[in-house]
Amino acid sequence: MTASPDLGTSRLASPDLLRSVFRRHAAGVAVITAPGGGGPVGFTATSLTSVSAEPPVISFGIGVGASSWPAISESDHVGVHVLGEHQQELAATFARSGADRFGAPTRWRKGPEGVPVLDDVLAWLVCRVVARVPAGDHRIVLAEVVLGDPSGAGRPLLYHQGRFNGLRD
């Protein structure tokens, strides 16, 4: 699949082009969690971004059709978990539709503001949601960092070419 050579024409590319390009982009893997009326919710995200240091603000994207969206759309706080390369199965569980994401073997606890906090991650944050910005079939969530723990051991999990991978030297 290649881009059109007619770069002077103003039109949108296909979703397939976007997906193909971003398969070549290695991204860190995170799990976003939130308390929900029917129990905790969460999903795997590769769209986590540091937005601002003063104040500390992060962003992530979520599809409005995602099963976690109703809870994320109403929650005041979310959990952000940076996964280690030893957590490929956890990433897959939170990415799989219909999975029991918080059942065994997932280990977690109820954290500050009622946010589910996953165990054994490289780092985690609890963030206060400050905005949900429409972006096509997704929303970009902006959230201020309230507290967290960056002390987990290990190397980061990456997503590249449609697979979870470890970082190579």
Confidence of residue 8 (pLDDT cuts 50, 70, 90): low
7-26 as b/e: b if 16+ CB within 10 A:
eeeeeeeeeeeeeeeeeeee
pLDDT in tens, 76-109: 999 999 999 999 999 999 999 989 999 999 999 9
- 3 pLDDT above the threshold of 70: no
Asked whether the beta carbons of 45 and 55 are under 8 A apart, the reply is: no
Residue 168, pLDDT > 50, answer yes
Q: Which distant-in-sequence residues (6+ apart) come within 8 Å of 72 by Cβ?
A: 32, 34, 41, 62, 66, 78, 139, 141
Mean pLDDT computed over 31-46: 96
Please provide the average confidence, as pLDDT, over all residues in the chain: 92
Query: Has residue 118 got a pLDDT over 70?
Result: yes
Is the model's pLDDT at 5 over the cut of 80? Answer: no
